[in-house]
Structure 1
Amino acid sequence: MRTTREVPCLVGRVLGHPILDDHSLIQTSELFYVDERGEFARTRSRWYRLGTHGAMNSGV
């Protein structure tokens, strides 16, 4: 997934999102904070618990 945002954001697949189906590919609103250990992130609209990095390509 390519992003055209001019501000930092998260891009990835979600699990346990209150609205989106599991494994949906998303691009978040503006990223404001990531904790020192890289476990949590805050965007304009919500908190995210971050997981492991996975392969991000159009075929997944």
Structure 2
Amino acid sequence: MSVDRLRGVVDPETVTAVFDAVDAALDVLVDLSFDALTTPEWLALVERCESYAGTCRWLSIS
């Protein structure tokens, strides 16, 4: 993976690889059961999802 700390990712293959990793992680996530979580644990995860959604919106407009 080619990353320049000042400019970020410097090649399209790296961007694609990172999105592939996100896709794979989401595939695992949607197959999980959340039944064992307490309400506070579940709400904390919902908050994280909202944060990720905000990041995705930022990516689409930048």
Greater helix proportion:
2
Q: TM-score, normalised by structure 1?
A: 0.23
Q: TM-score, normalised by structure 2?
A: 0.23
In terms of Rg, which structure is larger? 2
Greater strand proportion:
1
